Structure 1
């Protein structure tokens, strides 16, 4: 039997034998039977037809060198090479498939015909030449696709407005695109071979620790840093570190992509500030105050340190608004905010709940007399005249004071206790402070038991 007929007759066992080998290739291990065989059947049938055709001496010489006739279209070998590149196959994996196809045919042929006749030997020679030609066509197309992909990838890197670079396993630059060089205000030659630490970037140590996480976990990492480069670009940046793995899942390098998020970050901060601060005084509003009070209560519970809450209401402020107008009232509220802030420490919180109501959170209030001193300082500060555009005015403050954990177990109860104490102070006159105390064994904090002036 001629080899061409043998191939056509035994094409299924040939492919089954070849398929067993193909499954051992890394990038083929996840493929199904259809994807694995894709063009192999067609290539074998084309080779069988070629074996049946007559060849001139020049065609035989060309075939012996791996060169076949040009027919103007893509051969199945070329299509196979392009598809294998798209599937992530390496050059060696692609060549291995052709070698396995050759071995499968020759092995079955040799078992069937242990003794080879002259014609069969010629068929075998031509078959090997056809396989060599298929390898050459496949690799040529593979290389063409690879070169185009490289050019496209290079064009993307050059055109990208985001800095993109590659670091070796020691954290040194082995590639940097134009955007990276522009950001660093350095020539690419001055970047290659250096690390972030070598370039004097203050974020280098944190960056290196995150890079080591990528090495250890073989996974991507997203981070942020604040820095203005020599180019004057940016202030806030986010970055992505992505591992480059070889076919054995071993680290080869790390790709890093920077993105300038300064404008976005500042816009988000502005939105957050507007949502959490009083637009008139700039103090924390009720929303932020309640959040901070909750956090401070948790901290006080962990540290076993008491917490004091002052609730203030301005006496005589309504008269200022009614007689001098809201513009004068707003001016007084802003001055009140400044004076309150000057009366407390930086770690304390002054907030405006709305209208003429203010609160003060005093952290680590170990001694009652210290809290009383702060409250008296506030009263004295607000007793001084306030200057408006029309005239100076006088107001005062009524202050209610509650303590955590003595007076209330939760932020809401603590605020309610201070509020009750403030109303008691207001009933007693102006420029007064009152402490809220619960009797031992009494009910909820909202029931007033004792108020001390």
Structure 2
């Protein structure tokens, strides 16, 4: 098999592999793994544009973890910025002989960076460091960039559909302030998780948390400060539970959490959240005499109900 045919097979397999993928980050991670393996690079980095932060944040890293330090990501950020600014990929075969990059980390011998653009919007940027492929010599090179070009050319329509659907999904199901799912999505997921729990005879907990007294806080500190608090609470909750569990913003001051495969110990998340959130001073000027707090309510499947709407209603009975 020729080298061209071998790489064409890799591309066909990669495109087929994203046929059921529904989000851009999964596509990027899949391609990062394939390319990092093909180039036999020491480290591969994927950055994806985050609208909320207006920056390209690291979404995935492949390679040797013990050489990845904070300074490395700053370096990668600068290299990625250059590729994004010039709107084209580039590579450096020997950093020691390149005056612009001779001061890089001693162990970085070469790199390749590739920004991906969709309909004029730069969505992702891939970086590969110390490409030392034994399949062919003098990597990275223009042949490598051509390989990535073909990969994205063949997957372009599918990625476009995924991106379009993700935009529609965001408009329907994502809360603009916090970036968390909204009540519509929460309700949909509770229904789905109840059906799954019934099939698998598993337990489930629906948890609701409410920031109080929101109206007084809003009146006292204003909308901007109130929004900051709600956004921070949502972020803290998201950080405090497992990645595959759901945190949603249900209304202006209320959040919902779905704990799957949950036993009674799962309710310990309430105490964990209380501890984490109590460390924040929500009322810095001491203007609210009643004080601020976050109250909780919960409902367990099947003990407190076996239908999704029943669980949501019962979880909304705030207990303290």
The normalised TM-score by structure 2 is 0.53
Number of the residue aligned with 1:383: 278
Report the Cα offset of residue 319 of structure 1.
2.1
Matched, 1:230 2:127: no
Matched, 1:338 2:239: no
Report the Cα offset of residue 372 of structure 1.
3.1
Q: 2 CA distance for matches of 1:321 and 1:198? A: 59
Number of the residue aligned with 1:419: 316
Q: 2 CA distance for matches of 1:235 and 1:333? A: 42
Report the Cα offset of residue 234 of structure 1.
7.6
Is contact 1:383–1:395 with CA below 8 Å preserved after alignment?
Answer: no
Q: 1:235 to 1:295 in 2, by over 3 A?
A: farther
Matched, 1:371 2:180: no
Report the Cα offset of residue 261 of structure 1.
4.4
Matched, 1:402 2:305: no
Report the Cα offset of residue 198 of structure 1.
5.2
Matched, 1:273 2:188: no
Is contact 2:11–2:151 with CA below 8 Å preserved after alignment?
Answer: no
1:305 aligned counterpart, secondary structure: coil
Q: 2 CA distance for matches of 1:408 and 1:203? A: 48
* Partner deviation per Cα, 1:355-389 (whole Å, 9 max, x = no partner): 101111111112x2x1331111122222233469x
Report the Cα offset of residue 403 of structure 1.
0.5
* Number of residue pairs the alignment of both structures matches: 197
Q: 1:286 aligns with which of 183, 189, 192?
A: 183
Query: Which structure has the highest strand share of the two?
Result: 2
Q: 1:236 to 1:376 in 2, by over 3 A?
A: farther
Q: 2:219 aligns with which of 322, 328, 337?
A: 322
Q: 2 CA distance for matches of 1:399 and 1:224? A: 37
2:225 aligned counterpart, secondary structure: helix
Q: 1:297 aligns with which of 186, 190, 194?
A: 194
Bigger-Rg structure (1/2):
1
* Partner deviation per Cα, 1:163-193 (whole Å, 9 max, x = no partner): xxxxxxxxx9xxxxxxxxxxxxxxxx975xx
Show structure 1 runs of 5+ residues with no match: 1-171, 173-188, 211-222, 239-257, 426-431, 433-453
Report the Cα offset of residue 392 of structure 1.
8.0
Q: 1:386 to 1:264 in 2, by over 3 A?
A: farther
Q: 1 CA distance for matches of 2:270 and 2:233? A: 14
Q: 1:204 aligns with which of 13, 19, 36?
A: 13
Report the Cα offset of residue 288 of structure 1.
0.9
Number of the residue aligned with 1:214: none
Q: 2 CA distance for matches of 1:233 and 1:260? A: 14
Query: Which structure has the highest helix share of the two?
Result: 1
Q: 1 CA distance for matches of 2:248 and 2:233? A: 11
Number of the residue aligned with 1:247: none
Q: 1:405 to 1:263 in 2, by over 3 A?
A: same
Is contact 2:11–2:150 with CA below 8 Å preserved after alignment?
Answer: no
Q: Which has the higher contact order (CA 8 A, sep 6+)?
A: 2
Q: 1 CA distance for matches of 2:239 and 2:156? A: 40
Q: 2 CA distance for matches of 1:307 and 1:224? A: 27
1:408 aligned counterpart, secondary structure: coil
Show structure 2 runs of 5+ residues with no match: 22-26, 32-115, 117-143
